[in-house]
Amino acid sequence: MTQSNYVVDPMISAKSIAARVEVLACEITEHFTGTDKLIVVGLLRGSFVFIADLVRELDLPVEVDFLETSSYGNSLESSREVRILKDIRGEIEGRDVLVVEDIVDTGHTLNHVLHLLKSRNPNRLEVCALLDKPSRREVDITATWIGFEIPDEFVVGYGIDYAQLNRNLDHIGKVRFV
């Protein structure tokens, strides 16, 4: 798919994503079995497609909430300054919480979000990330569940964007400038 000065080369197929989401949902369901309600906190905007697919596969009572952060803008590089643009609405004290992230990259955003949510005293706080780029990590943080480990490539699709484009792709692709 061509967009102005770059192309998107396929990296992870829609079929592979769907199969992995199903496995992740089974593992998460097993982990949280017995919860009266799992609060799934999606980090907007990149994770919205992943969240939608994941929660439909969970065999648990689920409440969905969203937190929006910013550290990239329209850049290819994280500014490492994490800003909360939209906070969750619900209370999480004493609740089981699953944070859903699109990509764990440097780790700054996830670290900031986890510190914020931990300060609200949830019962359990776990993380599921669709993609993980361990080679870029600057903060010692890992997700409980990871969909796919990927190399240091700038990716789009399945909700993830570059300058607000390509979120609607059904697969993950790497951006290649031409």
pLDDT of residue 77: 55
The domain containing residue 25 runs over which residues?
A: 2-72+97-177
In a domain, 89, yes or no: no
Q: What is the CATH number of the domain that holds 140?
A: 3.40.50.2020
Q: What is the mean pLDDT of the chain?
A: 92
pLDDT of residue 1: 44
pLDDT, one tens digit per residue, over 39-67 is 999 999 999 999 999 999 999 999 999 99
In a domain, 90, yes or no: no
| Positions marked catalytic | 105
pLDDT, one tens digit per residue, over 141-167 is 999 999 999 999 999 999 999 888 999
The amino acid that residue 28 corresponds to is I
In a domain, 35, yes or no: yes
Question: The pTM is what?
Answer: 0.91
Q: What's the domain count of the chain?
A: 1
Sheet containing 172-177: give its strands across.
2-3, 6-12, 172-177, 155-156
DSSP state string for 158-171: TTB-BTTBSTT-SS
Checking 4-7 for CB contacts under 8 A at 24+ apart, the result is: 5/177, 5/178, 6/162, 6/175, 6/176, 6/177, 6/178, 7/175, 7/176, 7/178
pLDDT of residue 2: 42
